[in-house]
């Protein structure tokens, strides 16, 4: 800052660049720190996953993936995400709609509870379901009597995943919908639209970008969730093991190539998600700018 | 479509937003709901439009009771204060919306929709802008899109909430004239809300002055301006100087003298306020009978009327409007000593603020036929 020769205090409204600009060395240092941090903590581990997975060659990599248990884990993960994400899409839109567009008692309670899955440890979320639906849980006897299995089965995994990924869509939508208010909906109604038409033609197009972002995040988390799923899954190979759980099992068996191969698939899914988002933003950037005013 | 509003009341919890409103709007009329913020004017408009439900009372459109009827059935063209255009749709699609959401049996064919939308866009002088998005338009253009969109459904009534509030002065004036033309041409019944008295007086056939959830006065613009029914109406309709006085035996008694106000003979004795419009004050350079001495403290000669502010001996400021030739003839300068006299004033009892039942009675008018010492001004607006 001492190297700055222009006296900023003397001239009240010079070019904004000069007013807010940092000296070159400070700017460069900040950029270097930012990039270095990202490189060290985000990029390097990601690269390491792929290097490790491919360390014995592409043949070994594919062979490691092509085992029945691994394929079952991939299928289960996709199935769970395919159920949990649409559920949270619907719940998220409903919750955000209720919070943003209506005043009702219990509104602030609802807002607080939406954040609950973010604030409690995923292990606890899993344990809660065991407590409720496990053989010795509250509904356990009834479930056993009616031959319904939730814990240590797919329904339990889906429930735990829904719980953990619930906030993403709602969190993304609430501020957006609050900012947009209800005037456009009122306008649609005054023009003769019914409630359904108003939602499809006015509300949904206005929130679609936030919704998409929420869904992508929710999807990434649904596929990657470990803690909550681990508690309710029971780790039955080929049946209740999702990809993250399978990675752990393989790793504990010293099957490093297998573990990293599955891990690389998970990482790939995350990268695809990000690329998809960037692509959409690039493709529809113009429309995005227009709808955001 | 004539509209009749009967005993409409609206509460939000304990707060009464509207007290027993009764109002009749005639077919083809352009009506202004005028009042300060919080006066209930927008609530009343939204209730008529069906965007809000009244706590009690009924609204008749050509004899049919509308309360409980859906917005779809009401067929009201509503123009929102901030336009509420659909931001993700082009101008064309915004205007077409009302036609596209019609039930299949009533929905026009695509070609017909296109024709109608283009006709409406031409009507609001936005023919070439059909492909733009609302964010690419100026405020005045957005306002006209909102109007075209509301007109597309062939409304029985057009309602506008602060239609010119967000526009700059020049656009506002143009749009005002244009809206008046459109209203007359299409034979619509229109209601608009405004807090701008000039706008209401210039544009409307009739003005409804509202205050604290009640109607203070209803009348044509020149009538309400010339004969405000209450102290509130007097203060709200244009600038005014306020002077404290008292009514005693049908006379207004000021600090320095007394004037006869026969209209107040029956109002009883008590403290009162005299109102004098800035253009109802005469200015003399020499000593004059029954005139108050004051010093010119400020002159603004931009515009057809010069605004002159004078300070009385006790330091209170009085606002005066003079025709410019008059200002020149008087050769006023800041610091000049002048003598001022009210040409016309109006006196309202202070404790007898208008009660809900008698909103239309004119309570009193005093003319300074023979003013003694002009009253001490309380403050000016």
Residue B110, token pair as written in the block: 């695509």
CB contact under 8 A, A184 and B133: no
Nearest CB to B88 within list A192, A193, A291: A291
How distant is the Cα of B14 from the closest Cα of chain A, in angstroms? 16
Name the burial class of residue A196, with classes exposed (0-12), middle (13-18) and buried (19+) by CB atoms within 10 angstroms of its CB.
exposed
Residue B70 lies in a domain: yes
Q: What is the bridge-based pairing of β-strands B76-79 and B157-161?
A: parallel
* B209 & B290 share domain: no
Q: Is the pLDDT of residue A110 over 60?
A: yes
Mean pLDDT over the full length of chain B: 81
Residue B374 lies in a domain: no
Q: Is the pLDDT of residue A83 over 90?
A: yes
Q: Is the pLDDT of residue B144 over 80?
A: yes
For residue B162, the chain A residues in CB contact (below 8 A) are none
Residue A180: closest C-alpha in chain B: B84
* B185 & B334 share domain: no
Mean pLDDT over the full length of chain A: 83
For residue B88, the chain A residues in CB contact (below 8 A) are 205-206, 287, 290-291
Q: Is the pLDDT of residue B248 over 70?
A: yes
* B35 & B96 share domain: yes
Q: Which residues does A89 contact at the CB level (< 8 Å), separation at least 6?
A: A169, A211, A214, A215, A218
Q: How many other CB atoms are found less than 10 A from the CB of residue A80?
A: 23
Residue B316 lies in a domain: yes
Instruction: Yes or no: say if A222 and A209 are a contact pair by the CB < 8 Å rule.
Output: no
What pLDDT is attached to residue A276?
Answer: 83
Task: Write phi, then psi, for B86 (nearest 5 degrees).
Answer: -75, 110
CA–CA gap between residue B159 and residue B146 (Å, rounded): 11
Highest mean pLDDT among A250-259, B162-171, B252-261: A250-259
Confidence of residue B91 (pLDDT cuts 50, 70, 90): very high
In a mutational test of the B interface, the residue from A176, A181, A187, A205 whose CB has the highest number of chain B CBs within 10 Å is A187
Domain that holds residue B315: 240-349
Q: What is the mean pLDDT of residues B177-186?
A: 86
How far, CA to CA in Å, does B137 sit from each of A134, B36, B87, B90, B213?
A: 60, 29, 11, 11, 36
Confidence of residue A7 (pLDDT cuts 50, 70, 90): very low
* B143 & B57 share domain: yes
Q: What is the mean pLDDT of residues B364-370?
A: 31
What pLDDT is attached to residue B155?
Answer: 87
User: In the listed set B182, B198, B227, which residue is the last one of a domain according to the structure?
Assistant: B227
Q: What is the mean pLDDT of residues B171-197?
A: 87
B305: alpha, beta or left? (left if phi > 0; alpha if psi -120 to 50)? beta
Write out A77-100 in H/E/C secondary structure: HHHHHHHHHHHHHHHHHHHHHHHH
CB contact under 8 A, B71 and A190: yes
CB contact under 8 A, A197 and B101: yes
A97: alpha, beta or left? (left if phi > 0; alpha if psi -120 to 50)? alpha
Residue B340 lies in a domain: yes
> Residue A63: enclosing H or E segment and its boundaries?
helix A57-65
What pLDDT is attached to residue B360?
Answer: 32
B101: domain CATH number is: 3.40.50.300
Using DSSP's 3-state secondary structure scheme, residue A4 falls into coil
Q: What is the bridge-based pairing of β-strands B30-34 and B206-211?
A: parallel
Task: Write phi, then psi, for B37 (nearest 5 degrees).
Answer: -65, 140
What pLDDT is attached to residue A256?
Answer: 84
Q: In this predicted structure, which of A34-48, A227-241, B241-255, B276-290 has the lowest mean pLDDT?
A: B241-255
In a mutational test of the B interface, the residue from A104, A180, A190 whose CB has the highest number of chain B CBs within 10 Å is A190
Confidence of residue A287 (pLDDT cuts 50, 70, 90): low
Chain B residues whose C-beta sits inside 8 Å of any chain A C-beta? 49-51, 71-72, 75-78, 80, 82, 84-89, 97-98, 100-102, 133, 135-136, 149-150, 152-153
* B185 & B275 share domain: no
For residue B76, the chain A residues in CB contact (below 8 A) are 190
Q: Which runs of consecutive H residues, i.e. helices, occur in B101-258?
A: 110-123, 139-151, 169-186, 197-203, 221-226, 231-236
Residue B356 lies in a domain: no
Residue B364 lies in a domain: no
Q: Is the pLDDT of residue B330 over 90?
A: no
CA–CA gap between residue B35 and residue B30 (Å, rounded): 16
pLDDT digits (tens, 9 = 90+) for B185-243: 888 899 999 988 888 888 899 999 999 888 988 999 999 888 888 888 888 887 888 88
* B130 & B217 share domain: yes
CB contact under 8 A, B78 and A187: yes
How distant is the Cα of B169 from the closest Cα of chain A, in angstroms? 24
A–B CB contacts, 8 A cutoff, strictly below: 72
B340: domain CATH number is: 2.40.50.140
Q: Predicted ipTM?
A: 0.73
Confidence of residue B246 (pLDDT cuts 50, 70, 90): confident
* B339 & B200 share domain: no
What pLDDT is attached to residue B365?
Answer: 33
* B218 & B248 share domain: no
* B255 & B300 share domain: yes
CA–CA gap between residue A259 and residue A50 (Å, rounded): 11
Domain tally, chain B? 2
* B181 & B68 share domain: yes
Q: In this predicted structure, which of A47-56, A180-189, B309-318 has the lowest mean pLDDT?
A: B309-318
Q: What is the dihedral of CA B149, B150, B155, B156, to 10 degrees?
A: -160
User: In the listed set B227, B252, B283, which residue is the last one of a domain according to the structure?
Assistant: B227
CB contact under 8 A, B102 and A192: yes
User: In the listed set B227, B255, B281, which residue is the last one of a domain according to the structure?
Assistant: B227
Q: What is the mean pLDDT of residues A234-256?
A: 86
Confidence of residue A2 (pLDDT cuts 50, 70, 90): very low
CA–CA gap between residue A251 and residue A257 (Å, rounded): 9
Residue B173 lies in a domain: yes
In a mutational test of the B interface, the residue from A192, A200, A201, A209 whose CB has the highest number of chain B CBs within 10 Å is A192
Residue B95: closest C-alpha in chain A: A191
Residue A224, token pair as written in the block: 């990657």
CA–CA gap between residue B148 and residue B130 (Å, rounded): 11
DSSP string across B265-292: TTS-SEEEEEEE-GGGEEEESS--TT-E
Q: In this predicted structure, which of B88-97, B105-114, B161-170, B344-353 has the lowest mean pLDDT?
A: B344-353
Instruction: Output the pTM of the full model.
Output: 0.73
Q: What is the bridge-based pairing of β-strands B251-253 and B258-260?
A: antiparallel
Q: What is the mean pLDDT of residues B117-135?
A: 88
Q: In this predicted structure, which of A66-75, A178-187, A276-285, B367-376 has the lowest mean pLDDT?
A: B367-376
Instruction: Yes or no: say if B241 and B276 are a contact pair by the CB < 8 Å rule.
Output: yes
CB contact under 8 A, A188 and B86: yes
CB contact under 8 A, A184 and B86: yes
* B194 & B53 share domain: yes
Using DSSP's 3-state secondary structure scheme, residue B219 falls into strand
For residue A191, the chain B residues in CB contact (below 8 A) are 97-98, 101, 149-150, 152-153
Q: What is the mean pLDDT of residues B333-344?
A: 82
Residue A51, token pair as written in the block: 């290097």
* B221 & B291 share domain: no
Q: What is the mean pLDDT of residues B144-162?
A: 89
What pLDDT is attached to residue A12?
Answer: 45
Name the burial class of residue B178, with classes exposed (0-12), middle (13-18) and buried (19+) by CB atoms within 10 angstroms of its CB.
middle
What pLDDT is attached to residue B347?
Answer: 81
**Could you tell me which of B57, B49, B121 has the C-alpha nearest to residue B78?**
B49
Q: What is the bridge-based pairing of β-strands B292-300 and B346-349?
A: unpaired
Confidence of residue B355 (pLDDT cuts 50, 70, 90): very low
Q: Is the pLDDT of residue A149 over 70?
A: yes
Residue A289, token pair as written in the block: 């700018």
């Amino acid at each position: 800052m001492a190297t700055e020769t222009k006296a900023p205090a003397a001239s009240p409204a010079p070019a904004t660049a000069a007013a807010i600009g940092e000296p070159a060395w400070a700017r460069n240092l900040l950029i270097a720190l930012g990039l270095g941090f990202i490189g060290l903590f985000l990029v390097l581990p990601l690269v390491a996953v792929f290097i490790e997975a491919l360390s014995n060659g592409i043949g070994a990599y594919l062979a490691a993936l092509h085992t029945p248990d691994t394929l079952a884990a991939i299928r289960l993960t996709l199935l769970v995400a395919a159920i949990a994400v649409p559920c949270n899409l619907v719940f998220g839109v409903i919750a955000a709609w209720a919070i943003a567009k209506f005043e009702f008692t219990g509104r602030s309670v609802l807002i607080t509870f939406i954040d609950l899955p973010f604030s409690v440890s995923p292990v606890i979320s899993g344990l809660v379901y065991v407590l409720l639906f496990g053989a010795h849980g509250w509904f356990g006897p009834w479930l056993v009597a009616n031959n319904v299995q939730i814990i240590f089965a797919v329904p339990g995994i889906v429930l735990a995943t829904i719980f953990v990924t619930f906030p993403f869509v709602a969190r993304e939508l609430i501020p957006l919908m609050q900012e947009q208010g209800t005037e456009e909906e009122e306008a649609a109604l005054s023009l003769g639209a019914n409630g359904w038409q108003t939602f499809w033609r006015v509300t949904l197009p206005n929130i679609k970008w936030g919704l998409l972002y929420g869904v992508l995040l929710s999807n990434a988390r649904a596929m990657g969730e470990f803690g909550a799923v681990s508690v309710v899954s029971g780790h039955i190979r080929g049946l209740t093991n999702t990809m993250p759980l399978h990675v752990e099992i393989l790793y504990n068996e010293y099957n490093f190539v297998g573990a990293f191969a599955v891990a690389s698939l998970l990482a790939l899914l995350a990268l695809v998600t990000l690329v998809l988002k960037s692509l959409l933003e690039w493709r529809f950037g113009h429309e995005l700018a227009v709808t955001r005013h | 479509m004539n509209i009749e509003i009967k005993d409409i009341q609206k509460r939000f919890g304990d707060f009464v937003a509207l007290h027993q409103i009764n109002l009749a709007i005639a077919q083809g009329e352009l009506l202004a709901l005028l009042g300060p913020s919080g006066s209930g004017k927008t609530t009343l408009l939204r209730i008529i439009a069906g965007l809000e439900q009244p706590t009690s009372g009924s609204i008749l459109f050509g004899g049919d009771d509308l309360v409980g009827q859906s917005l779809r059935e009401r067929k009201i063209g509503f123009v929102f204060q901030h336009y509420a255009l659909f931001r993700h749709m082009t101008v064309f699609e915004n205007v077409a919306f009302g036609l596209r959401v019609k039930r299949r049996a009533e929905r026009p064919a695509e070609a017909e929709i296109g024709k109608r939308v283009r006709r409406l866009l031409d009507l609001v002088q936005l023919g070439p802008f059909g492909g733009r998005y609302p964010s690419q338009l100026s405020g005045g253009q957005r306002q006209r899109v909102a109007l075209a969109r509301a007109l597309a459904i062939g409304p029985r009534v057009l309602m506008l909430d602060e239609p010119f509030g967000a526009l700059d002065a020049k656009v506002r004036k143009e749009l005002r004239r244009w809206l008046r033309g459109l209203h007359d041409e299409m034979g619509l019944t229109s209601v608009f809300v405004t807090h701008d008295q000039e706008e209401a007086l210039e544009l409307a056939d009739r003005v409804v002055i509202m205050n604290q959830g009640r109607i203070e006065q209803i009348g044509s613009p020149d009538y309400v301006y010339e004969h405000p029914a209450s102290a509130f109406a007097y203060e709200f309709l244009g600038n005014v100087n306020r002077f404290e006085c008292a009514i005693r035996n049908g006379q207004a008694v000021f600090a320095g003298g007394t004037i006869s106000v026969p209209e107040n003979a029956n109002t009883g004795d008590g403290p009162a306020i005299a109102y004098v419009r800035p253009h109802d004050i005469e200015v003399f350079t020499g000593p004059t009978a029954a005139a108050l001495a004051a010093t010119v403290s400020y002159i603004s000669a931009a515009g057809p009327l010069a605004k002159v502010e004078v300070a009385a001996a006790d330091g209170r400021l009085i606002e005066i409007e003079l025709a410019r030739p008059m200002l020149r003839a008087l050769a006023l300068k800041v610091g000049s000593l002048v003598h001022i006299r009210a040409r016309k004033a109006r006196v309202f009892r202070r404790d007898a603020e208008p009660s809900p039942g008698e909103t239309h009675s004119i309570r009193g008018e005093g003319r300074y036929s023979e003013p003694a010492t002009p009253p001490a001004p309380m403050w000016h607006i």
